Amino acid sequence: MTQRLISTLVVMMGVLSASVGLLIAARRLRAAGRAYRKIGTLYEAMPEGWSSWFLGGFSGLTLGTHWLWAMAALAMWVTAGVCFIGLGIGLFWRV
């Protein structure tokens, strides 16, 4: 009885971990969009020249790094969730 309760809690922790990963990735992608739009408006307002080109490239680079960090966080949290779910299922069938 105790192992089934623990296995259920471990599975729930895995589901919670995967959902936290999704929420964190969504939040990071929203932040990336805000930063991209903020820098993009500065880029459009600047006169032509080297500084305008640099600001446009920096805007794209910022968006790319935010996107990569969001995907890395998502992958880590979902992997942890899958491991917890697998552990919980293994404990459940061990009884």
**Mean pLDDT score of the chain:** 85
User: Both tokens of residue 38?
Assistant: 């903020």
Q: Amino acid identity of 31?
A: A
User: For residue 1, what pLDDT is reported?
Assistant: 78
* 53-68 pLDDT tens trace: 677 777 778 888 888 9
State how far Cα 51 lies from the chain centre. Answer: 32
Residue 80 has pLDDT above 70, yes or no: yes
User: Both tokens of residue 52?
Assistant: 């305008």
Rounded alpha-carbon distances, angstroms, from residue 44 to 5, 11, 48, 52:
58, 49, 9, 8
Question: What are the structural domain ranges in the chain?
Answer: 2-94
Give mean pLDDT, residues 19-46: 83
First to last CA, the chain: 9
